[in-house]
Structure 1
Amino acid sequence: MHVPDGFINAPVSAVAGVVAAGAVVVSLRGARRELGGTFGPGGAGSGGERTAPLAGLVAAFVFAVQMLNFPVAAGTSGHLLGGALAAILVGPFTGVLCIAVVLLMQGILFADGGLTALGVNITVMGVVTTVVAYALFRGLTRVLPRTRRSTTVAAFVAALVSVPAAAAAFTLLYAIGGTTDVPIGKVLTAMVGVHVLIGIGEAAITALTVGAVIAVRPDLVYGARGLAAPLKLRVDGELVDAPGSAAPSPAPAAARSTRKVWAAGLAAALVLAGFVSFYASANPDGLEKVAADKGIDEKVREHGAAGSPLADYGVKDVSDARLSGGLAGVIGVGATVAVGSGVFWAVRRRRTPEAPAPRTTESV
């Protein structure tokens, strides 16, 4: 759903840019808590320290999976948006930053998603998907049993709903600032209809990924915190911990290395982007198909980074299509994990300055 330059007029694109910038600023503050170990009960704990190493990897993984367009209807494909997956794995604020990093790398290096439309893309693909998905996910986990299966089901539903929500958000922006005269009802029906189908694929990918990480390291999943709570027994009208079922203390969990998970995740991202992406569907994605069918793309402009040596996910001057696409995917994963890890390391390291001690006055 990468919106190119020319779909939305300059004033609305500028407003969307301001909204996106504000969301990023707010997310930087929120991510400091999520990555700094302050999301546990009562605002304390080591959970953030355990999920912090995962944040840069999540951005790289989303980048890789977005290269895997899957068919959803005749002549139409879809790909992961990633907001739900990122929010559940590393937190909603950090999730917004993950998607922003991915979109920035795609726009600058691969000419995917307009540069003047970057604010639109961050708002639609990053903010809307993350907020909708995480709000629904938290609501479902509050009413469902606190089990791994229920958490995975909640992830599936949240991801499914987030995609048509993003499609509706794009339609709203188009209704306000579209550069072509197309009936909004037709755009909304087409966009939401095809993106419900894409949402099924998004939901499957999100649920499988979240379920796999929970099965191996539930302590690394922001949305799964609390799954290891001790079993309670009612004794004389009071709830007490069952013998031998006390939850592990934060210290041992925090001390567990994340290297194996990080290495496995990075290897998976490299394989997906460098090899599996060659077999992705070549059909236009949902937005491209709707734009072509309805005439939304009449005033599309050439991308500002069209001359990039990695434009269109291929390496310039490499004639072999498989090798060119594979190298571009590997470079993209490497660049995204490097930039993402740098951003999240800086966010985690930064601390809010302590308030100065109050001055004392002495009587003379």
Structure 2
Amino acid sequence: MHVPDGFFNAAVSLSAGVVAAAGVAVCLRGARRELDDRTAPMAGLVAAFIFAVQMLNFPVAAGTSGHLLGGTLAAILVGPYTAVLCMAVVLLVQGFFFADGGLTALGVNITLMGIVAVVVGWTVFRLVTGSVRSRPAVVAASFAAALISVPAAALAFALLFWIGGTAPIDVGTVAAAMGGVHVLIGIGEGLITAVTVSTVLAIRPDLVYGARGLAAPLVLRGADGDAVVTREPAAAAVPRRPGWFLPAGIVVAALLAGIVSFYASSSPDGLERVAQDKGFIGQATDHPLAEQPLADYGDAGGIPVGVAGLIGVGATLAVGGGLFFAVRRRGRDEVTGLESGREEVSA
């Protein structure tokens, strides 16, 4: 659902840019509390994984395809603030390296695919897991949250198009079309999210941010009736670095982008199909970087899509990894400064 240049007037594009910038600024501060020795390296991997899976368009209806948005998946794995930053990194790499998503529409894309999808997905996830504390509940909540987040972002697009779209299309028509096709895409989103979360839970449950604290302690009663806690809650476990999980995840992302991407559906995605059917696809303008070699994932420069995908995974990992470690270091420095201040006051 990458919005191209030309769909929105200058006022909406600028306003969405301001919202996106403000949201990223808030998330930069919030991510300092989420990023630790587990989530900082995981966040870079999650961004690279989302980039890779977004290349894998899957058919959802005759002549229409969809792809992962990834905001809910990122929120569950590394936290909602960090998830918005993950999506911003992915969209920046796609926009500037691969001419995927308009540059003037970058604020719109971050707002829709980052902020809206993450907020809605994380809210649904927390509502479902709030009263049920088990791994199956986390997986089921992952599916439901991801499914709902996609049509929510699509309806937000329809709202923005009603406010400042460049074509005189009835908002109800756009909303119905966008909502309908993106419910189908949301099912695919939910399945991918649930399978990914379930896999990580099975291998390294401590790396799933949304599952921290969900495992209740096992309590046994002694002969005198006193309760004895024999297993600590997950939240109390000592944080471990991702270790071998990180290179293994990079290999998976590379295989998806480098090999599986050759088999992705070539049909237009949900937004493009709706724009064609409703007559506003002609409002899209050429991307200013459409002639660079990696544009359209290598098609402009005759580069195989798998090679372009590998470059994209590497670029996303580098940009995201650098950002997340910098944010982590800033948060650690703030904690150290506070502790030093307390010691000076105590002295």
TM-score normalised per structure 1? 0.88
Letter in 1 for 2:324: F
Give the alignment partner of residue 177 of structure 1, picking from 155, 164, 181: 164
Q: Are 2:298 and 1:314 aligned? A: yes
In structure 1, the partner of 2:185 is: 198
Distance in 1 between residues matched to 2:59 and 2:186, nearest whole Å: 12
In structure 2, the partner of 1:245 is: 231
Give the alignment partner of residue 90 of structure 1, picking from 69, 73, 78: 78
Secondary structure in 1 matching 2:37: helix
Where do residues 139-218 of structure 1 align in structure 2 (5 Å cutoff)? 139-144=127-132, 146-218=133-205
Letter in 1 for 2:260: V
Letter in 2 for 1:324: P
Q: Are 2:208 and 1:221 aligned? A: yes
Letter in 2 for 1:58: V
Give the alignment partner of residue 113 of structure 1, picking from 76, 80, 101: 101
What is the deviation of 1:308? 1.6
Matched residue pairs, number? 340
Q: Are 2:308 and 1:328 aligned? A: yes
Distance in 2 between residues matched to 1:313 and 1:259, nearest whole Å: 31
Letter in 1 for 2:148: V
C-alpha spacing 1:249/1:152, structure 2 compared with 1 (3 Å): closer
Distance in 2 between residues matched to 1:167 and 1:183, nearest whole Å: 15
Distance in 2 between residues matched to 1:237 and 1:293, nearest whole Å: 73
Q: Is the 8 A contact 2:181 2:270 kept in 1?
A: yes
Task: Map Cα deviations across residues 38-90 of structure 1 (whole Å, 9 max, x no partner).
Answer: xxxxxxxxxx3222210000000000000000000010000000000000000
Secondary structure in 2 matching 1:311: coil
Letter in 2 for 1:33: R
Q: Are 2:305 and 1:305 aligned? A: no
TM-score normalised per structure 2? 0.93
Distance in 1 between residues matched to 2:128 and 2:321, nearest whole Å: 30
C-alpha spacing 1:18/1:239, structure 2 compared with 1 (3 Å): farther
Q: Is the 8 A contact 1:232 1:239 kept in 2?
A: no
Q: Are 2:4 and 1:10 aligned? A: no
In structure 1, the partner of 2:51 is: 63
Give the alignment partner of residue 352 of structure 1, picking from 311, 318, 334: 334
Distance in 1 between residues matched to 2:284 and 2:203, nearest whole Å: 45
Identity of aligned residues (%): 62
Q: Are 2:111 and 1:123 aligned? A: yes
Distance in 1 between residues matched to 2:44 and 2:295, nearest whole Å: 23
C-alpha spacing 1:246/1:166, structure 2 compared with 1 (3 Å): closer
Letter in 2 for 1:68: L
Q: Give the gaps of 5 or more residues in structure 1.
A: 36-47
Task: Map Cα deviations across residues 149-178 of structure 1 (whole Å, 9 max, x no partner).
Answer: 110000000000000000000001000000
In structure 2, the partner of 1:281 is: 265
What is the deviation of 1:259? 2.5
In structure 1, the partner of 2:63 is: 75
Q: Is the 8 A contact 2:38 2:242 kept in 1?
A: yes
Secondary structure in 1 matching 2:144: helix
**Alpha-carbon RMSD:** 2.2
